[in-house]
Chains A and B, each alone.
Chain A
Amino acid sequence: MVLFIIFCPIIAAILIMAGAPARKTALVASVLAFAAALFLLAFFDQSQRDFQHVTSFTISPDWHLSFTTGIDGLSLVMILLATIVTLAAVWFTGTIEKYENAFYACLLFISGGAIGAFASIDLFFFYAFHELALIPTFLLIGIWGSGNRVAAAWKITIYLAIGSFILLLGLILLYQSFPLAARSFDIRALTAAAGLGQISADAQRHVYLLLLIGFGILISLFPFHTWAPEAYASAPAPAAMLHSGVLKKFGLYGLLRLAIPLLPEGTHHWANLLVVLLLGNIIYIGLVTIAQKRLDWMLGYSSVMHMGYIFLGIASATVLSTTGAVVLIFAHGLSIALLFALAGELRKKTGTLVFDELGGLGKVMPFASLAFGFGVFAAIGLPGLANFAGEIMIFFGAFKNGWEMAHFHIFQIATVLALWGVVISTVYMLRAYRKTFMGTMNERWKEVGDLRPALRVPVVLVVGGLLCYGFFPQSLVQMVTPTFQTYLSANSSHLADEQSCSHGAVRRLRFMGPADGNAPQGRSYKVANKR
């Protein structure tokens, strides 16, 4: 089943290149993949902590390299996100004037690569599948982009190529930092070996830094973010949806999958650096976002900014905050895809995305305006939408990290500053909403029509996902928490006294952790002791 989800888009893409009717094949493939993901979700065994539905083909016994796929709660959430966004993106594409087949094939290649990366248990294929998206992205932006597409296409391609080669170095170093007998590309074997303490603290620091830079470039961590806004602004809407909604999450997934269990010492060592950088994402990029004068650029910058919250969850490395990070990854993927889709429609209908020229479109596009409102409020983090659940878990988790009465340490300061990010994102999101859909309408836009009924289906799907997991984040949390409990078993005691949380999801989470409040402190963060 997992193999089916990976290869469904890829085979469809090959068929489309060979001449199959583009839109039909792509839609069928993405519906099938989504259905298969729902099937996996329905039959997911939450009591089992290890990977499920594992299939494995040996590639090279000498290198312990094999094509192994499978899912646990974490990958299942990512796959679900990928299939939803793929379906929405394909649905939103419509007819393309130039090289229609190639367009759909590129989209499906990106999707298949992302799903493959999320479902791979093998380090090599985890990496290789992600790269499958590189050339399609280059072509999508280059051929069908708008604005300064040439520069944007080169920039994203070179950036991501260098980033992924740095990542490759990190992965090779990770592989080599195990003793010879334990070397394997199988993530399960590596996790087991790391649990026995087979990576030296020194090696962990080096590997973590490489992974952080490599993944950081792919995720647009400040200061490696400059490719992202430009590329997203120039990319055609479906490409921007897939890239910012799904593909960019690969790096975050990688950090959660590799850095948290394998490199606890590295995570600890570089936490302060990461906190400074992520504050750059939240505060600096947040302010830059406010200054944007075009909707597409604003959305591009906002997607960079929101990565900061997820990084905060990863940096603090507690079960609560990492779970929150996954919920936010999922929620942000949906909300940014929705916003990019609607922005793309706006561009198609009006031909411009400059704030000063837009305005009052709510009158002629009531449905789009409502949907955009959902996206905006989700991005701000309004309760009832999934982003809120993720953000609040991250904030609580991060604030607790190294908490001492009456002393603020780096994570407390970071959380307080990051909370200001919510205010910043409120400012730019609401401003964008007002300038686009409210106010006096330009005479030019009188003839602009609302979204076609057919295009409302993916919008409803995405908004439904946001609302569903906004009210019931527990279903996501329950899937993901066991993974991180296993990863962070040593410091799961953080969960035990979560009384101050008011959010339902979090309060219930408490009972899933070990009830014993005096569990060994293990690798927990004691920033205070470092002074």
Chain B
Amino acid sequence: MTITAPELEIAVLVLGMAMLLAEAFATKIDKRVLAFVAIAGLALVLVASFFVAPRASPSQATGFWSFYTADRLSMFFKQFSLLTTIFVLILMIDYAPVVRSSFPGGTLQAGLGEFFALPIFTCVGLMYLVSAIDFVFIFVSLELVAISFYVLVSFTRRNPMTLEAGTKYLVLSALSTGFLVYGIAWIFGATGQTNLQQIADALANPTTDRNAALLGMVLVLAALGFKIAAVPFQIWVPDVYQGAPTPVTAYLSVGSKAAGFVVLLRVLQPFLALPQTQRLIVVIALLTLIYGNLAALPQANLKRLLAYSSIAHAGYLLIGVACFDASAISFYLAAYLLMTLLSFAVLIIVAQQTGEQIADFDGLAKRSPFLAFAMLIGMISLAGVPFTAGFLGKFFIFYAAIAQHQTVLVVVGVITVGCGFYYYLKVVRAMYWQSANKTDKIPVTALSRLAISALIIATIWLGVYPQPILDALKR
């Protein structure tokens, strides 16, 4: 029996439904069992996805294959989304006590079922999103992702910060959806098409009104800029990242961003012939790099710092978009997945003991050498020290930029890397230089220990031997 790509999404959807049903009818069970079932199910789908032969949709496709593609890029990012969701669920198990404590009136298990089930629907949305090659389908799957995030972001709603985050995310996300629809309408009006390939063909036709299409593209870009946290659409990021439950923040900053970049690459494809597109991306990349890195410098709250760092990384990724190098972007995102999840995993465990401030990490090396080492690897990888995946990500990005003679981007990129070293090493400094107020050990559950070890090994492994990812992306 051969498996085809759409069956993967269907399997994940069925898993999500089953979990909701189980949650509704089996009220007595420990809800964490659900999370383990979900992790196992997703892992199964992940394994199955390696047996799917990638194939692009035929160029004259109609029906289903006119809005769905299963090329290598989408297969890579389907696996990426599954892996992210698995790790986020592991983080959620660690985070469960916090969720429980935010439902004071409820029972011990209140709310946990949905907390574990919603990411699965987000995952389906992400998997559809990376396969979407039609504006209508892009819109629908983007909404699936966004709506499940509305709930997740404000899940621990007793916390005023979370409530604020939820409101901000809801309002601004809805606004960006508005931009998206408006942009799609302009592009449709100019070209008469929603399929990206057919839009490209229509734009090649000199009778098409390019300015109208370009206006539509700019509007779509604004909407996607919201998803990937590019300046000037980044205002929501620090508050939402800080206020949302930490696993959801990790999910937002990895899953949502990665899918956003894939869509960005696909959407920009038809417009590459227009010279304005690249210039626009270069400007956005410059702004994002400068803003993200400079604003991260004074942060004292680690979650907020990671929010700004996520903006900064969007800047490096946008360098890749400006050079239109899909494999450099994909590698960077793979590295970003590992190091960001690693940092958040440690943050969740430490935050429950002390807090989210960088000062709360003081002396972590004494209290838990394992967690401190994990955070060290995460931070130096984010900063871009060789022998970690993050360095190779930057290497490929800079390689692409130099090959395209993007001098300004490269110069600003190097200067901002210097900023990055400062704010990431601030965390390292806290863990290793400062002495702790408390000296008791921090307990780490076996599952998180396993997950964190896997992330550390993968970060270093990819930093030394990137070939597996490069092979997976080879056309």
A126 CB to nearest B CB, Å: 11
Q: Whose C-beta in chain B lies nearest to the C-beta of A161?
A: B421
Are A172 and B399 in contact, CB atoms less than 8 angstroms apart?
yes
Cβ 8 A contact of A59, one of B383, B399, B467: B467
Q: Whose C-beta in chain B lies nearest to the C-beta of A127?
A: B386
Interface residues in B432-475 by Cβ distance below 8 A to A read: 432-433, 464-467, 470, 474
Interface residues in A123-160 by Cβ distance below 8 A to B read: 127-129, 131-132, 134-135, 138-139, 142-143, 154, 157-158
Cβ 8 A contact of B398, one of A131, A142, A143, A169: A169
Determine if B425 is an interface residue (Cβ-Cβ < 8 Å): yes
Q: Would A165 and B417 be within 8 Å (CB), given that A60-B467, A139-B432, A158-B422 are in contact?
A: yes
Are A176 and B403 in contact, CB atoms less than 8 angstroms apart?
yes
Which B residues touch A143, using CB under 8 A? 432-433
Interface residues in B410-432 by Cβ distance below 8 A to A read: 410, 414-415, 417-418, 421-422, 425, 428-429, 432
Determine if A418 is an interface residue (Cβ-Cβ < 8 Å): no
Are B385 and A169 in contact, CB atoms less than 8 angstroms apart?
no
CA distance A466 to B421 in the complex (A): 38
CA distance A158 to B470 in the complex (A): 31
Q: Digitize A52-67: 1 where CB-to-B-CB distance is under 8 Å, 0 elsewhere.
A: 0000000110100000
Are A132 and B386 in contact, CB atoms less than 8 angstroms apart?
yes
CA distance A432 to B384 in the complex (A): 41
A101 CB to nearest B CB, Å: 10
Q: Would A166 and B432 be within 8 Å (CB), given that A158-B421, A172-B399 are in contact?
A: no
Q: Whose C-beta in chain A lies nearest to the C-beta of B418?
A: A162
Cβ 8 A contact of A60, one of B414, B425, B466: B466
Determine if A102 is an interface residue (Cβ-Cβ < 8 Å): yes
Q: Whose C-beta in chain A lies nearest to the C-beta of B395?
A: A168
- Interface of A, helix, strand, loop or mixed by DSSP: helix
Q: Would A161 and B466 be within 8 Å (CB), given that A132-B386, A135-B385, A143-B433 are in contact?
A: no
Determine if B36 is an interface residue (Cβ-Cβ < 8 Å): no
Which A residues touch B324, using CB under 8 A? none
CA distance A165 to B433 in the complex (A): 26
Interface residues in B365-394 by Cβ distance below 8 A to A read: 365, 376, 380, 383-387, 391
B101 CB to nearest A CB, Å: 36
Interface size, A (range): 20 to 34
Cβ 8 A contact of B414, one of A62, A102, A165: A165
B402 CB to nearest A CB, Å: 5
Q: Would A135 and B380 be within 8 Å (CB), given that A142-B433, A168-B395 are in contact?
A: yes
Are B398 and A132 in contact, CB atoms less than 8 angstroms apart?
no
Which A residues touch B380, using CB under 8 A? 135
A19 CB to nearest B CB, Å: 10
A59 CB to nearest B CB, Å: 6
Q: Whose C-beta in chain B lies nearest to the C-beta of A135?
A: B380
Are B432 and A102 in contact, CB atoms less than 8 angstroms apart?
yes
Which B residues touch A176, using CB under 8 A? 399, 402-403
CA distance A102 to B369 in the complex (A): 11
Interface size, B (range): 20 to 34
Which B residues touch A102, using CB under 8 A? 365, 432
Are A169 and B421 in contact, CB atoms less than 8 angstroms apart?
no
Which B residues touch A166, using CB under 8 A? 414
CA distance A139 to B398 in the complex (A): 28
Which B residues touch A154, using CB under 8 A? 422, 425
Which A residues touch B421, using CB under 8 A? 157-158, 161
B158 CB to nearest A CB, Å: 40
Q: Whose C-beta in chain A lies nearest to the C-beta of B376?
A: A135
Q: Digitize A94-131: 1 where CB-to-B-CB distance is under 8 Å, 0 elsewhere.
A: 00000100100000000000000000000000011101
B343 CB to nearest A CB, Å: 16
CA distance A222 to B266 in the complex (A): 48
Are A132 and B387 in contact, CB atoms less than 8 angstroms apart?
yes
Determine if A35 is an interface residue (Cβ-Cβ < 8 Å): no
Are A172 and B418 in contact, CB atoms less than 8 angstroms apart?
no
A87 CB to nearest B CB, Å: 25
Are A59 and B465 in contact, CB atoms less than 8 angstroms apart?
yes
Which B residues touch A173, using CB under 8 A? 402
CA distance A138 to B410 in the complex (A): 26
Which B residues touch A161, using CB under 8 A? 383, 417-418, 421
Cβ 8 A contact of B415, one of A60, A127, A129, A162: A162
Which A residues touch B470, using CB under 8 A? 60, 62
Are A138 and B399 in contact, CB atoms less than 8 angstroms apart?
no
A175 CB to nearest B CB, Å: 8
A410 CB to nearest B CB, Å: 30
B326 CB to nearest A CB, Å: 15
CA distance A421 to B414 in the complex (A): 35
Q: Whose C-beta in chain A lies nearest to the C-beta of B419?
A: A158
Are B414 and A169 in contact, CB atoms less than 8 angstroms apart?
yes
Are B429 and A142 in contact, CB atoms less than 8 angstroms apart?
yes
B57 CB to nearest A CB, Å: 27
Q: Digitize B101-113: 1 where CB-to-A-CB distance is under 8 Å, 0 elsewhere.
A: 0000000000000
Q: Whose C-beta in chain B lies nearest to the C-beta of A170?
A: B402
Q: Whose C-beta in chain B lies nearest to the C-beta of A144?
A: B433
Are A128 and B386 in contact, CB atoms less than 8 angstroms apart?
yes
CA distance A282 to B75 in the complex (A): 59
CA distance A235 to B385 in the complex (A): 21
Q: Whose C-beta in chain B lies nearest to the C-beta of A131?
A: B386
Q: Whose C-beta in chain B lies nearest to the C-beta of A145?
A: B433
A293 CB to nearest B CB, Å: 28
B456 CB to nearest A CB, Å: 13
Interface residues in A361-393 by Cβ distance below 8 A to B read: none
B353 CB to nearest A CB, Å: 21
CA distance A158 to B425 in the complex (A): 10
Q: Whose C-beta in chain A lies nearest to the C-beta of B373?
A: A17
Cβ 8 A contact of B410, one of A60, A129, A158, A169: A169
B259 CB to nearest A CB, Å: 27
A184 CB to nearest B CB, Å: 14
CA distance A347 to B465 in the complex (A): 44
CA distance A166 to B410 in the complex (A): 10
Which B residues touch A128, using CB under 8 A? 386-387, 391
CA distance A139 to B379 in the complex (A): 14
Cβ 8 A contact of A162, one of B417, B466, B467: B417
Are B385 and A134 in contact, CB atoms less than 8 angstroms apart?
yes
The 21 listed contacts between A and B (C-beta, < 8 Å) are A59-B464, A59-B466, A60-B467, A60-B470, A62-B474, A129-B386, A131-B387, A132-B386, A135-B380, A138-B425, A143-B432, A158-B418, A158-B422, A161-B383, A161-B417, A165-B418, A166-B414, A169-B398, A169-B410, A172-B399, A173-B402
Beyond A132-B386, A139-B433, A176-B403, 18 extra complex contacts between A and B, CB < 8 Å: A59-B464, A60-B470, A62-B474, A102-B365, A102-B432, A134-B385, A138-B425, A138-B428, A139-B428, A139-B432, A142-B429, A143-B432, A161-B383, A161-B421, A165-B384, A165-B417, A168-B395, A176-B399
